Amino acid sequence: MFHTDVCDLLGIEYPIILGGMVWIGKADLAAAVSEAGGLGLLGAGGMTIEEIHSECSLVKEKTSKPFGVNLPMIRPDISEMIDASIESGASVVVTSSGNPKSFTRVIKERGCAVMHVVPSVSYALKCVEAGVDIIIAEGIEAGGHDGFDEITTMALIPQVVDAVDVPVIAAGGIADGRGFVAALSLGAKGVQLGTRFVATYESAAHPRFKDAILQLPDNGTTITGRTTIGPTRSMKNTLTQKIQEAERQGASAQELFDLIGEGRSAMASIEGDIEEGSAYCGQIGGMIRELKSVSDVFDEILAQARDTITQIRHFSEL
Amino acid sequence: MFHTDVCDLLGIEYPIILGGMVWIGKADLAAAVSEAGGLGLLGAGGMTIEEIHSECSLVKEKTSKPFGVNLPMIRPDISEMIDASIESGASVVVTSSGNPKSFTRVIKERGCAVMHVVPSVSYALKCVEAGVDIIIAEGIEAGGHDGFDEITTMALIPQVVDAVDVPVIAAGGIADGRGFVAALSLGAKGVQLGTRFVATYESAAHPRFKDAILQLPDNGTTITGRTTIGPTRSMKNTLTQKIQEAERQGASAQELFDLIGEGRSAMASIEGDIEEGSAYCGQIGGMIRELKSVSDVFDEILAQARDTITQIRHFSEL
């Protein structure tokens, strides 16, 4: 069921990928997603080299299925991060926040599949040139760091699919079986979900952060950083109001960095300060109403996807 | 094929609606869409009462099938617009830019179906309360006037579908059979297309405007009016640069209105000044590469939708 090229390339059962999420994407969550038949990803952005080793080991204790890591190319110790991940058993590397050319060849030579997250067609073409195996095309509805062009998933996926000859995974705005089938309809060969997996028992997010997702209205997220430091989607809160007010006053990138300071993402996601932290969250958070286990999330996505396809077939046969 | 509740309610064959487009949505285009089996809509926002009469008559000369009008509720002569449209044979009224409560009952009592365009769940709930027959939920990727909440089609449609018990039509980011099937997957019972129909032989748009769509990259549109006067999506050009620069300087709503002045939309869409006019255009314009007849657009959407469903079925049966 729902077997695509992506499943063959990654050695997984369902083309459903855990978004690489700093702080939240730890071993319990990554292992649960892999064990359910998807691809679990450790969000290694905030991990030390030792933590990468220990988190990979923890995943391997919990599942014998393939898992991956998300590595931000801007980390100064990126080469060590790659070594640690591969030595500790990750078979997929998602390269983010940087040029896919830098490390794709090196990682592939060591037998790992490489995926790269892109917000537009031009970046997707750079990935193909770099030899990336799978492109994750992410729309502006996604939580966390988004592209300056602010292209939505609905508009982005078919344009990227038309432009490249490698499989495309859709990210942004997907949290259930309807979104999964919609993404496949647009030409994607799989989906990446972030916010839906934050609101699971297995995620390392603080209970207050999970609750905030369950309470979120459709318009509960906003973009900051649009003018200078890069668009980031998070829950509307005291911090986003401060940042947006500074932006309206014409704050420079440095002034915004100074205002925001360090550690805001951990403050929201693991310390639970939803008002003063950066509570990265996708727009589809407004649809998520129940905390579930990862295995239930998978069961429900797959069941709803089957129902959706039955319904669509019905429309096309009347 | 593709028959939904929306078809029954509107008396049409395929649940594909022409977006109500000022200047561009004239009789030739509306009649061609209705004749192809969808619902043609006259974009009456810029029409006098006499023009509404004459355009409706022209549509009726070209097709015997149902057609509608898009009427902005903010026009001071809105009552006369409604009278003129219904007397001249429109059987569907799309009410936009205003409260659906004002005129829904009046229009329905005269035997017309009422659709209203919304950008969020809270507005959709207001429509249900007002007795609107069909809700058109429009994502931020759509061209022209968008909602302040900037919710994308992918995130918006399932949330609106879950919130209301009337049929929902998806708008924003849809221009082919893939987008049509994706929208149905998300729970919509139909789609509304604007930009795709602008780039047809039958549309009243200036040839330079149509050409500009065919040349558009994926990131070729932008939003102005975000800070004060209301988000509007159009092609990036000299005018959007000027507006955005004024916005960065903190311009007030009045200063922006003064800067923009009157007639910018007609300047782009029918006079062909793509640089100084407001060239309303959806993000999916980046995917549109060929000028076609409306009938070819329909044939291709339906054929591609069938292929897409076959492909999706295949995924679910492996």
d(CA B28, CA B160): 32
Q: Which of A31, A91, A90 is nearest to A59 (CA)?
A: A31
The tens digit of pLDDT for each residue in B1-55 reads 899 999 999 999 999 999 999 999 999 999 999 999 999 999 999 999 999 999 9
Q: What is the CATH number of the domain that holds B18?
A: 3.20.20.70
d(CA A157, CA A143): 17
Q: Do A1 and B316 touch (CB under 8 A)?
A: yes
The tens digit of pLDDT for each residue in A241-261 reads 999 999 999 999 999 999 999
Nearest residue in A to B309, CA atom: A313
d(CA B105, CA B114): 9
- Do residue A182 and residue A244 come from a single domain? no
Whether residue B179 has pLDDT greater than 60: yes
Nearest residue in A to B182, CA atom: A182
- Do residue A172 and residue A222 come from a single domain? no
Q: Where are the alpha helices (DSSP H) in A237-293?
A: 238-248, 253-260, 264-269
- Rounded to 5 degrees, φ, ψ at A28 are -60, -50
Report helix angle B153-163 to B121-130, nearest 10: 40
In a domain, B274, yes or no: no
- Do residue A200 and residue A235 come from a single domain? no
A103-109 average pLDDT score = 95
B208-225 average pLDDT score = 98
Nearest residue in A to B163, CA atom: A287
Report yes or no: B290 at the A interface, CB cutoff 8 Å: no
The tens digit of pLDDT for each residue in B104-126 reads 999 999 999 999 999 999 999 99
d(CA A39, CA A197): 12
**Tokens 């239930």 map to which residue?**
A296
DSSP state of A204: -
Whether residue A129 has pLDDT greater than 60: yes
In a domain, B52, yes or no: yes
pLDDT at A317: 77
In a domain, B299, yes or no: no
d(CA B170, CA B158): 10
B194-206 average pLDDT score = 98
Other beta carbons less than 10 A from residue B310's beta carbon = 11
Look at residues A204, A227, A244 and tell me which one is the last residue of a structural domain.
Answer: A204
B306: amino acid identity, one letter: R
In a domain, B296, yes or no: no
Q: Provide DSSP, B230-266.
A: --EEEE-SHHHHHHHHHHHTT--HHHHHHHH-S-HHH
d(CA B254, CA B143): 23
The tens digit of pLDDT for each residue in A260-306 reads 999 999 999 999 999 999 999 999 999 999 999 999 999 999 999 99
Residue B2: its chain A contacts at CB < 8 A?
315-316, 318
A76: amino acid identity, one letter: P
d(CA A253, CA A49): 30
- Do residue A180 and residue A273 come from a single domain? no
- Do residue A57 and residue A161 come from a single domain? yes
- Do residue A223 and residue A94 come from a single domain? no
Please give the share of chain B, as a percent, with pLDDT higher than 90. Answer: 94
B37: amino acid identity, one letter: G
Residue A283: its chain B contacts at CB < 8 A?
151-152, 155
d(CA B153, CA A202): 29
In this complex, which of B179, B219, B227 lies closest to A158 when CB atoms are compared?
Answer: B179
The tens digit of pLDDT for each residue in A33-71 reads 999 999 999 999 999 999 999 999 999 999 999 999 999
Predicted TM-score of the model (pTM):
0.97
- Mean pLDDT across chain A: 96
**Tokens 């004002």 map to which residue?**
B102
- Do residue A25 and residue A55 come from a single domain? yes
Model confidence band, residue B318 (pLDDT cutoffs 50, 70, 90): low
d(CA B286, CA B221): 9
Other beta carbons less than 10 A from residue A126's beta carbon = 17
- Do residue A84 and residue A191 come from a single domain? yes
Which range of residues forms the domain containing residue B114? Answer: 13-205
pLDDT at A294: 98
pLDDT at A242: 98
Task: Decide: B98 and B72 in contact? Cβ < 8 Å.
Answer: yes
In a domain, B62, yes or no: yes
In a domain, A317, yes or no: no
The tens digit of pLDDT for each residue in A208-246 reads 999 999 999 999 999 999 989 999 999 999 999 999 999
Nearest residue in B to A140, CA atom: B152
In a domain, A300, yes or no: no
Task: Decide: A28 and A54 in contact? Cβ < 8 Å.
Answer: no
Report yes or no: B178 at the A interface, CB cutoff 8 Å: yes
d(CA B163, CA B183): 16
Nearest residue in B to A285, CA atom: B155
pLDDT at B96: 86
d(CA A201, CA B35): 53
Here the tokens at position B161 are 């579908």
How far is A207 from chain B, CA to nearest CA, in Å? 24
- Do residue A27 and residue A87 come from a single domain? yes
Per-residue CA distances from B178 to A176, A315, B182, B191, B285 (Å): 19, 15, 6, 12, 15
Whether residue A1 has pLDDT greater than 90: no
| Beta-carbon contacts below 8 Å between A and B | 174
What's the domain count of chain B? Answer: 1
In a domain, A304, yes or no: no
ipTM: 0.97
Residue B283: its chain A contacts at CB < 8 A?
151-152, 155
Whether residue A318 has pLDDT greater than 60: no
Report yes or no: A286 at the B interface, CB cutoff 8 Å: yes
Whether residue B208 has pLDDT greater than 60: yes
- Do residue A115 and residue A184 come from a single domain? yes
Model confidence band, residue B316 (pLDDT cutoffs 50, 70, 90): confident
Report yes or no: A172 at the B interface, CB cutoff 8 Å: yes
The tens digit of pLDDT for each residue in B55-87 reads 999 999 999 999 999 999 989 999 999 999 999
Q: Which of B70, B56, B13 is nearest to B194 (CA)?
A: B70
- Do residue A162 and residue A249 come from a single domain? no
Look at residues A204, A237, A265 and tell me which one is the last residue of a structural domain.
Answer: A204
d(CA A282, CA A193): 9
B191-195 average pLDDT score = 98
Q: What is the H or E stretch that residue B2 is in? A: none
d(CA B163, CA A141): 20
B304: amino acid identity, one letter: Q
- Do residue A195 and residue A211 come from a single domain? no
pLDDT at A137: 98
